[in-house]
Amino acid sequence: MIDVIDFGIAPNGEAVQLYTLKNEKGITATITNYGGILTSLKIQIADEERDVILGFDDLDEYTSADYKSNCPYFGALIGRYGNRINKGKFKIDDKEFQLNCNLGEHHLHGGFEGFDKKVWKAEILSDSELKLSYTSPDGEEHFPGNLAIEVVYALTSENELQIKYQAVTDQTTPINLTQHSYFNLSKQPTDILDHMLKINTDYILETDDLLIPGGQLLEVENTVFDFRTKKTIRQDIEELENYDDCFAFKESTENPRKVAELTDEKDTLTMEIYTTFPGLQLYTGKYIDSGIKKKFGPYAGVALEGQGYPDAPNHSIFKHGWLKPGEIYKQQTSYRFIF
């Protein structure tokens, strides 16, 4: 069964719930319909329980001024467009649209009031599946079209947390949905720098200093971005101080394929990442500084987000980033745990 409890009142006055999914292997995933946030993901290993994501125990932490000022998007569903859109601008049939810009002169993660701050409608589909629904109205954050979104969280008996996205629209609109959990697999969490990471691609998206794409894919060979052989996150991070980069797989796929794996420093827990998306955003969390009752600091967790490329609507070479009337947007990212 999926357990349901009250989780408080959202800033808009709506009541919010907390849903807990469990499997027979001792994994529990706890999700709130405020922002579709995955608040905890606990794994029973031998006689100890690990919470492998960064999250809070009460709604007030997610809505506090402290949290909003740092805005790390812990565990949240992101949209209408995850990542960046250059200067918040794009064109449809020669008509220019100007989105709200919440990251200097650029648009990030859906704007000032993205999907991470919405109260989603929740529906229990089965003992292991929770569906969240939200309709983004035409003009929200200045996006065109009414966009109806469904996201299903499913916890399988194979120790896999699946996140399935589906959306339809009545006008052509940019779209890039994702889920923004930060992972720390350690038994006694400190930082993630000694976690071992492998990413199965030869390419990374070229970006400028503000992480806006130039439109090219760069080879990772002989660079600090080469994770094709598993290495610690710490190994090459000194040159950059922080990874915040989109690793590119060139195309979306109909079925999820394995794109990466993360292992704790003691090699006791591994997380495999599968996705249909053409990109995987790696963010190592240098700028995390959030929480009052439960405090998280720099490098406390690492985000590994299956998603489309940032700013795809402004690059014709990227064959995604749009949804048109009559089309169905479908994507999936899964996290599978081996212990």
Q: Hey, which residues are catalytic here? A: 180, 305
Residue 164: how many other CB atoms lie within 10 Å: 18
Q: Which 3-state string (H, E, C) describes 291-328? A: CCCCCECCCCCEEEEEECCCCHHHCCCCCCCEECCCCC
Contacts of 279 (CB under 8 A, 6+ apart): 205, 246, 247, 248, 249, 306, 307, 308, 309
Contacts of 312 (CB under 8 A, 6+ apart): 174, 176, 318, 320, 321, 322
CA distance 124 to 129: 6
CA distance 53 to 285: 13
CA distance 298 to 291: 12
Tell me if 213 sits within 8 A of 315, measured CB to CB.
yes
Phi, psi of 59 (to 5 degrees): -65, -35
Q: Which helix (H) or strand (E) holds 62?
A: helix 59-63
Phi, psi of 188 (to 5 degrees): -125, 90
Per the listing, tokens 């006791």 go with 268
Task: Please tell me what DSSP assigns to residue 145.
Answer: S
Task: Please tell me what DSSP assigns to residue 117.
Answer: G
